[in-house]
């Protein structure tokens, strides 16, 4: 029986973990202040594990270094590589020796960690076959093989069928050389063609193998916890009811792994999985990780009806297609207890949406959806991206002016990131727009500079937009919804405990709500920050905050 060890690297770089920037979420630990670590349940790994166990005799284990970091109160390692080595060496000393090690690599921020883990594994488990899969191996195989000699192969696209073939192979290294879904240095050198090996009927994949992890480890996820509608007390677990996305957004690369053609789990299978999640795991909220849940509106409404029958609700962190959020769909979602929606508007500039992002969205739809959500009592989070090649400072000003008149509850401002496999990266490479390695970026750090803007300008404007739209021009505060506005301001304080604008506007909300004692406490804290922190004094002056 083969032993397969799945490893998920940290979704944060070592430098950002030990020395977080002033504009990101931070976590206090016994050994200091650290960057917040995202702990999303690795659905891809759980799908792979379930598929292998269905068709082969195999034992699977999972190490998710995100969860391990989140639970580590005292961290004094000089690098993640040292941390990985100590952890894996202890595993080996306990007698565990995997036959196959599969590293899941979805984001460019984990690039160096992926290489470090592979090097540690090659040393500690010299007899293991070491492979990697996900968006980074699919799109960065040349760079990976250039920077590391520790990988036997990299999976091209989805991994269920290729990994099963590897497990079943008698001569595993030989199999990697002949399978068209595995990338090796020899194949690349000989310019061999590769192809994705999709599962057409997703019902072939069994129920996710949640048994290889402790679901409670993922309750600490700072990303999901930041959304007001998600209760830490209630169990929530993620699912994907489909794979693929038909859109061609220039900043996205998910199609390189899952394709552009939609594939679905059957409605009966979705019902069975939801019942199992509710009965076996006590799930109250389904976190949908589909890239395009509303590709088939009739199917989506049927799934919503199933959830109503089972008395469970939903959350969509990847957003939903706004054109499909008509009144009937919004009412259906509200009827199952959906009290918050993430809206991927991305830009308030029609030109940017159409000509640069290739996103089929009419800005009039944005206002209609947000207004409908307000009337129905659905909290709206709007995602915004700035800093794409071809965007101008005037476009950003236009977007800012439009978004000020959109009555969303909150805006999440992100820096456009050139993801491996995206059209955006191709343009940046062709025109030499990158100011740092694209393996060294996330949605908070700008590395793109063009004829129209510098990376420093985009970095600063992203933060100014955040302060403007969420604080100075907060729509709930402006409309007199002080209780809702206060929730947003207090969430900001939890994420960054020296946030002057959050304290200032929280004080004003408390005053309006009649809680004068708390208002005074928040106001006093704001004054102390303004007196001691030059970073915040600049923004207090910018937004005419008088303390």
DSSP result, 209-277: -GGGS-GGGGGG-HHHHTSTT--TTS-EEEE-SEE------TT--THHHH-SS-EE--HHHHHHHHHHH
Half-sphere exposure of residue 386: CA atoms within 13 angstroms, side-chain side: 30
- Mean pLDDT score, 129-143: 95
Average pLDDT estimate for 512-528: 96
> Are 494 and 502 spatial neighbours (Cβ–Cβ below 8 Å)?
no
Q: Residue 225: is its pLDDT beyond 60?
A: no
Residue with the larger pLDDT of the pair 26 and 399: 399
**Once rounded to an integer, what is the mean pLDDT over residues 311-340?**
96
Average pLDDT, the chain: 93
Q: Is the CB of residue 227 less than 8 Å from the CB of residue 340?
A: yes
- pLDDT higher than 90, residue 59: yes
DSSP states of 291-354: S-GGGSHHHHHHHHHHHHHHT-EEE-TT---GGG--HHHHHHHHHTT--EEEEEEE-S-HHIII
| Residue 232, pLDDT score | 57
Q: At the top level of CATH, which class does the domain 2-189 belong to?
A: alpha beta
Output the pLDDT for position 223.
Answer: 56
Determine the number of helices (DSSP H) and then strands (DSSP E) in the chain: 25, 16
Tell me what the mean pLDDT of segment 191-209 comes to. 91
Which of these, 25, 174, 134, lies nearest to 497 by C-alpha position?
25
Q: Could you tell me the pLDDT band of residue 21, with boundaries at 50, 70 and 90?
A: confident
pLDDT score, position 442: 76
Residue pLDDT, tens place only, 326-362? 999 999 999 999 999 999 999 999 999 999 999 999 9
Tell me what percent of the residues of the chain surpass a pLDDT of 70: 97
Out of 34-48, 173-187, 259-273, 435-449, least confident range: 435-449
Task: State yes or no: pLDDT of 231 exceeds 70.
Answer: no
Averaged pLDDT, 147-159: 96
CATH topology of domain 475-547: 1.25.40
Residue 122 has pLDDT above 80, yes or no: yes
pLDDT for res 230 = 61
Instruction: State pLDDT tens for residues 382-416.
Output: 999 999 999 999 999 999 999 999 999 999 999 99
Same fold yes or no, 2-189 and 227-473:
no
Write the CB contacts of 378 (distance below 8 Å, at least 6 apart in sequence): 330, 333, 334, 338, 339, 340, 341
Residue 233: what pLDDT? 60
Q: Which of 64, 105, 11, 145 minimizes the C-alpha distance to 421?
A: 105
What CATH architecture is 227-473?
Alpha-Beta Barrel (3.20)
What is the DSSP annotation of 73-115?
S----SSHHHHHHHHHHHHHHTT---SEEEEE---GGGHHHHH
Once rounded to an integer, what is the mean pLDDT over residues 111-124? Answer: 97
Q: What is the mean predicted confidence (pLDDT) over 257-277?
A: 96
Cα separation, 283 vs 322, whole angstroms: 27
Query: What is the per-residue pLDDT for 258?
Result: 93
Mean pLDDT across the stretch 216-245?
76
Query: Residue range 218-241: average pLDDT?
Result: 71
Q: Residue 227: pLDDT band by 50, 70, 90 thresholds?
A: low
What are the residue boundaries of the structural domains of the chain, listed by start? 2-189, 227-473, 475-547
Q: pLDDT of 76-89, one tens digit each?
A: 899 999 999 999 99
Q: How confident is the model at residue 222 (pLDDT cuts 50, 70, 90)?
A: low
Give the pLDDT band of residue 32 (cuts 50, 70, 90). Answer: confident
Q: Which of 49-53, 224-228, 342-346 has the lowest mean pLDDT?
A: 224-228
Give residue 74's pLDDT.
86
For a pLDDT cut of 90, what percent of the chain falls above it?
84
């Amino acid at each position: 029986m083969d032993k397969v060890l799945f490893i998920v690297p940290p979704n944060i770089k070592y430098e950002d973990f030990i020395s977080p920037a002033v504009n990101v979420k931070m976590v206090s630990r016994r050994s200091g202040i650290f960057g917040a670590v995202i702990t999303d349940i690795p659905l891809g790994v759980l799908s792979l594990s379930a598929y292998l166990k269905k068709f082969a005799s195999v034992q699977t284990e999972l190490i998710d270094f995100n969860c391990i970091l989140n639970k580590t109160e005292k961290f004094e390692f000089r690098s993640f590589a040292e941390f990985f080595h100590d952890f894996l060496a202890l595993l080996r000393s306990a007698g565990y020796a995997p036959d196959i090690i599969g590293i899941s690599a979805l984001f460019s921020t984990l690039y160096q960690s992926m290489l470090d883990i592979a090097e540690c594994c090659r040393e500690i488990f010299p007899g293991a076959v070491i492979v990697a899969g996900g968006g980074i191996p699919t799109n960065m195989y040349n760079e990976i093989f250039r920077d590391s000699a520790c990988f036997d192969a990299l999976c091209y696209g989805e991994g269920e069928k290729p990994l099963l073939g590897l497990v079943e192979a008698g001569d595993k290294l030989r199999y990697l050389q002949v399978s068209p879904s595995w990338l090796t240095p020899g194949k690349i050198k000989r310019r061999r063609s590769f192809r994705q090996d999709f599962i057409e009927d997703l019902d072939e994949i069994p129920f996710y193998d949640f048994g290889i992890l402790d679901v409670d480890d993922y309750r600490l996820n700072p990303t999901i916890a930041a959304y007001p509608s998600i209760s830490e007390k209630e169990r929530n677990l993620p699912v994907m009811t489909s794979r693929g996305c038909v859109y061609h957004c220039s900043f996205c690369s998910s199609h390189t792994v899952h394709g552009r053609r939609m594939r679905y789990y059957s409605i009966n299978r979705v019902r069975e999985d939801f019942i199992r999640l509710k009965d076996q795991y006590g799930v109250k909220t389904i976190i949908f990780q589909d890239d395009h849940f509303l590709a088939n509106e009739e199917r989506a409404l049927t799934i919503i009806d199933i959830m109503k029958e089972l008395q469970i609700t939903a959350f969509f962190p990847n957003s939903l297609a706004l054109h499909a959020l008509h009144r009937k769909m919004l009412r259906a979602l509200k009827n199952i207890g959906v009290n918050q929606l993430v809206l991927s508007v991305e830009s308030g500039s029609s030109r940017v949406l159409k000509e640069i992002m290739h996103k089929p969205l009419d800005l009039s739809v944005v206002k209609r959806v947000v207004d409908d959500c307000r009337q129905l009592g659905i909290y709206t989070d709007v995602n915004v991206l700035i800093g794409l090649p071809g965007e101008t400072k005037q476009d950003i000003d236009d977007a800012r002016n439009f978004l000020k008149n959109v009555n969303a509850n909150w805006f999440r401002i992100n820096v456009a990131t050139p993801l491996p496999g995206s059209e955006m990266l191709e343009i940046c490479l062709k025109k030499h727009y990158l100011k740092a390695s694209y393996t060294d970026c996330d949605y908070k750090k700008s590395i793109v500079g063009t004829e129209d803007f510098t990376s420093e300008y985009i970095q600063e404007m992203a933060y100014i937009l955040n302060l403007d739209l969420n604080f100075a021009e907060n729509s709930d505060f402006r409309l007199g919804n002080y209780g809702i506005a206060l929730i947003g301001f207090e969430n900001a304080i939890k994420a960054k405990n020296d946030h002057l604008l959050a304290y200032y506007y929280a004080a004003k909300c408390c005053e309006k709500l009649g809680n004068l004692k708390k208002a005074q406490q928040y106001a006093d804290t704001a004054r102390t920050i303004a007196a001691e922190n030059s970073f915040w004094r600049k923004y207090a002056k910018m937004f005419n905050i008088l303390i």
